[in-house]
Amino acid sequence: DAKTTQPTSMDCAEGRAANLPCNHSTISGNEYVYWYRQIHSQGPQYIIHGLKNNETNEMASLIITEDRKSSTLILPHATLRDTAVYYCIVEYNNDMRFGAGTRLTVKP
Amino acid sequence: ETGVTQTPRHLVMGMTNKKSLKCEQHLGHNAMYWYKQSAKKPLELMFVYNFKEQTENNSVPSRFSPECPNSSHLFLHLHTLQPEDSALYLCASSQDGAGGPWNEQFFGPGTRLTVL
């Protein structure tokens, strides 16, 4: 079973920030938080990952709470092409468990 | 383009057929994976190969047989499949199979398999 809980779906207006939450209350000290997304009929695409500190790359930012029990993926300026299913995964020792994810719909 | 290619992209086969799915990665990675994605279900990890050695088999039926001849190629041999095996089969690779900070996985586009 996936070790994370995400909302089933979210909407976001084009050009606005999309904030996708993830709960991982049973995360252990060695487990990383990974985010992937899957655009319809394509393979999943890596977005970002982190352990304790907040992370930022060209695609997104990852905010991890101090107790590490939850995190938020931020797409700063969502576009229509960001419409996808977003997966939050906690991983250690190569045990990658995908849950149902959040279906993000970016609307014009 | 992720550097991971899969062929064929679509496959229709009967329950008595034998077919193979091919995956190739051009990233110099040492770990490769097979996943299954059925309709409206999460991705399921099937097999993991690390440095050509199988390190994980998630209770996959024997009608699915993986083969990893080298670190760049991964096959999934299929025989006597059932209609419920119809799914999207995804291949992925990562730098190595140790997990942790280096487990960013690069996925191929998948093979859409239909078993009649």
Compute the distance between CA of residue B23 and CA of residue A46 in angstroms, rounded to an integer.
18
Instruction: Give me B8's structure tokens.
Output: 């064929």
Burial class (CB in 10 A: 0-12, 13-18, 19+), A13: exposed
Q: Least CA distance to A47: which residue of chain B?
A: B104
Minimum distance, in Å, between the CA of residue B72 and any CA atom of chain A: 18
Q: Which residues of B touch A (CB under 8 A)?
A: 2, 4, 31, 42-45, 48, 50, 55-56, 88, 90, 92, 97-101, 103-110
Contact yes or no for A27/A78 (Cβ under 8 A): no
Closest CA relative to residue B47, chosen from B37, B38, B36: B36
Q: What is the pLDDT of residues B7-25, one digit of tens each?
A: 999 999 998 889 999 999 9
Q: What pLDDT tens digit does each residue of chain A (108 aa) get? A: 558 999 999 999 999 999 999 999 988 888 889 999 999 878 999 999 999 989 999 999 999 999 999 999 999 999 999 999 999 998 766 677 788 899 999 999
| C-alpha pair distances (Å), B23 with each of A3, B69, B72, B94 | 29, 11, 8, 13
Instruction: Give me B60's structure tokens.
Output: 């996959």
Closest CA relative to residue A107, chosen from A72, A81, A88, A76: A81
Minimum distance, in Å, between the CA of residue A57 and any CA atom of chain B: 14
Whose tokens are 């890596």? That residue is A46
Q: What is the pLDDT of residues B67-99, one digit of tens each?
A: 999 999 999 999 999 999 999 999 999 987 666
